Chains A and B, each alone.
Chain A
Amino acid sequence: MLPEIFLSLSIFSILMLGVFIKRSFNLIFNLTSLIIILTISIILTNPNNEEKIFLDSFIRDAFSNYFKILILLSSLFVLNSSKNFIIDNKLDKFEYPVIILLSILGMFFMVSSNDLILFYLGLELQSLSLYILASIDRDNLRSTESGVKYFVLSALSSGLLLYGCSLLYGFTGSTNFELISSQLYKENTGAVFAMVFILVGLAFKISAVPFHMWTPDVYEGAPTSITSYFAVVPKVAGLALLIKFMFVPFSNILLEWQTIIIFISIASMILGAVAAMIQKNFKRLLAYSSIGHIGYALAGVATGVISGYQSAIIYISIYVIMNIGAFSCLYLLKKDGQYKENISDLSGISKKHPVLAISLLIILFSLAGVPPLGGFFAKFYVFVAVLEMEMYALAIVGLLTTVMSAFYYLKIIKTIYFDDSIITFEPTKNRTAQVSIFTSCTILATFFLYPSVFNNLVTKLFVG
């Protein structure tokens, strides 16, 4: 519980600080980074042994700690690489980092919850923060539109989720995950019904097909710094919850749960591959590509075995690294004070900006899953798990969509390398974004030297 207490207290203090000090964005921003780093160190110094508190509603174990660190690290990179962007677009209000921290707190409760009520509270804390973030550029029509769109649809899905939770409580008589698990049987039709509602709510949060409709619009409309946060951090928390639900409360009705996830996974992979082909906006393309990537991660979840969950966790970890790199590249595409986000703006940058071009090359080939880059290993582990369970259809669809999605990544690479240059971007002094890109590319390009780095971490997550 210590990281959560520390995080909430610091959120209140920097909120106060922001209220009383004028023009405090820089201070608050730096404090936020410090808080994130301190929280990481608190989690790392605490022992990993399992612990349940507050009437078993809150659980601390290796699983939740892994996800918390992943959430914190990715937030740290996303936040810091977008700092220049935030200032340039006059989003430098002190609330910005505070709300990000609040959403992180919400996700902490989500991944640590062992109880429906705590889970829902965490989810809502996260969602409310995200609604504000989506419309934080309040004078911009597109940003407000995306905020409202996200709010309406997300509120609907939260409602469905809450309805599912109440049904589950009605049919099992408990809100505790372990008690639910012991009360839940296939014959309990009402509980299966509740399960579908909860799954719909979760699928919405991770933008899996057919609950993905909000993703492209919100990604495109929201400021890039927010989009990169949306694309990375909430997905990690959502996937953690999905795995947790399969592992604990719904472990007895795994088969019903699995059938739906297989469908969602296949639909996401296909839609992500097909719809991205015609996109002209880089953010919109990344939205569809993230839908596809969630499909692959869900393929690992759909196996319903621990090795599958592990592969999904590895997948989402590598996905986070790739997306941080991809979005950080967008922060360098600045021309006359405007940030460019169309794919055609990238044409021919290999001549003028060779380092940026080679970074994008590595990230895009990695997103496409071409060996020997990191993205290949992510897909490889998932398919190993999927084929272990002899789910051949899922594997074949997954691999065919890999080829289809390679097409649109290649299209961007073609724009970068084969086309003639049109725009020369300003030489950037955005050190933090460059550090993010460099980190991401180095990990992806050298992943093959020691590919079991994530395996070693995730094998410890499912003991007991």
Chain B
Amino acid sequence: MNFPILSTLIFLPLISSFFILLSRDKSSNISAIYISLFSSIATFLLSLFLWFSLDLNTSEFQFVEEKSWINNFIKFKLGVDGISILFIVLTTFITPICIISCVNSVKVRVKEFLIAILILETFMIGVFCSLDLVIFYLFFEAGLIPMFLIIGVWGGPKRVYSAFKFFLFTLLGSVLMLVAIIVIYWLTGTTDITQIYEIKIPNEYQNILWLAFLSSFAVKMPMWPVHTWLPDAHVEAPTAGSVILAAILLKMAGYGFLRFSIPMFPVASEYFTPLIYILSIIAIIYTSLVALMQEDMKKLIAYSSVAHMGYVTLGIFTLTKQGIEGSIYQMISHGLISAALFLCVGVVYDRLHSRMISAYGGLVNYVPKYSFLFLIFALAALGLPGTSGFLGEFLVLTGTFQKSYLAAMLATFGVVLGAAYMLWLTKRVIFGTTNNSEIKNLKDINKSEIIMLVTLAFFVLFFGFYPLPLMETFSVSVNSLINNYEAALISN
């Protein structure tokens, strides 16, 4: 195919952000909202087209674009396979929802906010498309700038602290990855991922390079003990910022493990598996316990994200078909569920300006539609069968049982804790009684909120009952990932 469909996909949001810059409505920002909504939906449709025209019977990269970028050094290379396409579609699906949500929640500097979101979308799609380490790093890091501004300009009272913590933590993690990327270039003579897959990186380098990549991904994931930036960032970020952060930015790290750590450093990946198990189990159990004690709804969901990401890392490093498939499934479903939960918190925050659990109670009596949707997402987050949350966790645990009974048992215990904090949250917020007189006058969700939440609820339930479309997309790619990994270990 000659048409550069991936470049179009990446740069469409960026170009439309220029049009927003040129839009001239002073008071209402209507045209800016329509431009961004239109362009993000166009991007979504384009990515859907990409998904449907992808050949799912091969693990090769498709729609590959290659262009000379830095002379004799780096090529601007893009391509997708069965794993990355899902993350691209997730990104393009979540972005329009964020734009709709900002109509209700963002009151100041709407135009700039939309520009930031669209630029961020460009960088996020770029991360999942790039087939070159330097291009990947470029997009991976560039996302910090708009996110820093989203948290800092539109965030809550402690936004400065959170934005700085977010930026510096992530930057510190990823500069080590930059060193590793350059070292890989000098070892292999290329930064093209497909070529590096063919070349075996010497064993004595693998461990240290793997750790350098881990430093970046662990911060981004986030894994215990470098997760502390996430609750702060989530609490202070505006609703749309939290949604993007939880739904997409966190997935970059999981994607990074699948795309870089395992195929490029198979020996090190095997060597460090126990480390990942320990960190993941601590993340699952410890952060679930921390989540139980939270009084702030956003913070609770943030900690639950850390716990859910613990399942993802656990599943990836079981290096079994079920484990990895479960991880990818978990990432996609967490992208939908956490986005929905943050939107739910945003809905009541816009009305009452409080995120404290104690400020709410008995919502089911006053806002039944909202309460129903909240309940669906809470149950999905705890992994109720029939929702997409169940399948991911189930597959991860199946994979883990093949490798380690202990890890699997501890992780299963985390599922119980997950149910505990989600149910307790639901009990305190949705059911029970309240003394807060403002709640009695609370308005139920409006049309735009219904559109966002019902769409998300539909997909959460759809992929809970019918996982085949997702499974089919990535299964060939996952198979070849595992085959290559095992072949590399045998030849070692």
A and B: partners?
yes
Measured CB to CB, the residues of A under 8 A from B are 350, 365, 370-372, 376, 380, 383-384, 387-388, 392, 395-396, 399-400, 402-403, 406-407, 410, 413-414, 417-418, 448, 451-452, 455-456
Q: A448 CA to B70 CA in the complex, in Å?
A: 10
Q: B183 contacts which chain A residues (CB < 8 A)?
A: 387
Chain B residues, CB < 8 A from A456: 71
Q: Does B110 sit at the interface, judged by CB under 8 A?
A: no
Residues of B at the A interface (CB closer than 8 Å) are: 69-71, 73, 134, 137-139, 141-142, 144-145, 148-149, 152-153, 159-160, 163-164, 167-168, 171-172, 175-176, 178-179, 182-183, 185-186
Report whether A371 and B175 are in contact in the complex, using a CB–CB cutoff of 8 Å: no
B159, closest chain A residue (CB):
A418
A351, closest chain B residue (CB): B109
Report the minimal beta-carbon distance from A406 to chain B, rounded to whole angstroms: 6
- In the complex the two chains form, what is the Cα distance from A372 to B164 in whole Å? 19
Q: Is the CB of B171 within 8 A of A452?
A: no
In the bound complex, do residue B168 and residue A371 qualify as a contact, i.e. CB atoms below 8 Å apart? no
- Cα distance A386–B14 in the bound complex, in angstroms: 34
**In the assembly, what is the distance between CA of A172 and CA of B416, in Å?**
81
User: 26 A-B contacts, Cβ less than 8 Å apart?
Assistant: A350-B153, A370-B141, A370-B142, A370-B144, A370-B145, A370-B171, A371-B142, A372-B142, A376-B138, A383-B178, A383-B179, A395-B182, A396-B179, A399-B176, A403-B171, A410-B163, A410-B167, A417-B149, A418-B159, A418-B163, A452-B69, A452-B71, A452-B73, A455-B70, A455-B71, A456-B71
> Residue B145 contacts which of A365, A380, A384 (CB distance < 8 angstroms)?
A365
The answer to whether residues A418 and B175 also contact, given A370-B141, A452-B70 and a CB cut-off of 8 A, is: no
**Inter-chain contacts of A387 with B (CB < 8 A):** 179, 182-183, 186
Residues of chain B within 8 A (CB-CB) of A383 are 178-179, 182
Question: Contact at B182–A448, with CB atoms within 8 Å?
Answer: no
Q: Which residues of A are found within 8 Å of B148, using beta-carbon distances?
A: 410, 413
Report the minimum CB–CB distance from B93 to chain A (whole Å).
25
Q: Do residues B138 and A371 form an inter-chain contact, with CB atoms below 8 A?
A: yes
Complexed CA–CA distance, A350 and B113 (Å): 13
A414 to B186, CA, bound (A): 38
List A contacts of B175 (CB < 8 A): 399-400, 402-403
Question: Smallest distance from the beta carbon of B325 to chain A beta carbons, Å?
Answer: 32
> Does A384 lie within 8 Å of B182, measured CB to CB?
yes
Chain A residues near B149 (CB-CB < 8 A): 417
Residues on A with C-beta less than 8 A from B160 are 414, 418
When C-beta atoms are compared, the residue in chain A nearest to B208 turns out to be: A392
Residues of B within 8 A of A400 (CB): 172, 175
* Residue from B137, B159, B179 having most chain A Cβ neighbours under 10 A: B179
Residues of A within 8 A of B172 (CB): 400, 403
Tell me the smallest distance from the CB of B119 to a CB of chain A, in Å: 10
State whether A418 touches B153 (Cβ < 8 A).
yes
User: In the complex where A371-B141, A372-B142, A414-B152 touch, is A403 in contact with B168 (Cβ < 8 A)?
Assistant: yes
- Roughly how many angstroms separate A149 CA and B257 CA in the complex, as a whole number? 55
Given known contacts A403-B172, A407-B168, is B137 in contact with A371 (CB within 8 Å)?
A: yes
Quick check: A417 and B168 within 8 Å, CB to CB?
no
Interface pair B186/A388, CB less than 8 Å apart: yes
Q: Which residue of B lies closest to A411 (CB)?
A: B164
- Pick the contact of B152 from A370, A392, A418, A451 — CB < 8 Å? A418
Smallest CB–CB gap between A398 and chain B, Å? 9
What B residues does A451 contact at CB under 8 A? 69-70
A residues less than 8 Å from B144 (CB atoms): 370
Assembled-state Cα–Cα distance A407/B169 (Å): 11
Give the residues in chain B near A406, CB-CB below 8 Å.
167-168, 171
Instruction: List 7 extra interface pairs beyond A370-B145, A387-B182, A410-B167, CB under 8 A.
Output: A371-B142, A372-B142, A388-B186, A402-B171, A414-B160, A417-B152, A452-B73
Given contacts A406-B167, A452-B71, contact A399 B138 (CB under 8 A): no
In the complex, chain A residues whose CB is within 8 Å of the CB of B70: 451-452, 455
Q: What is the CA–CA distance of A413 and B139 in the complex, to the nearest angstrom? A: 21
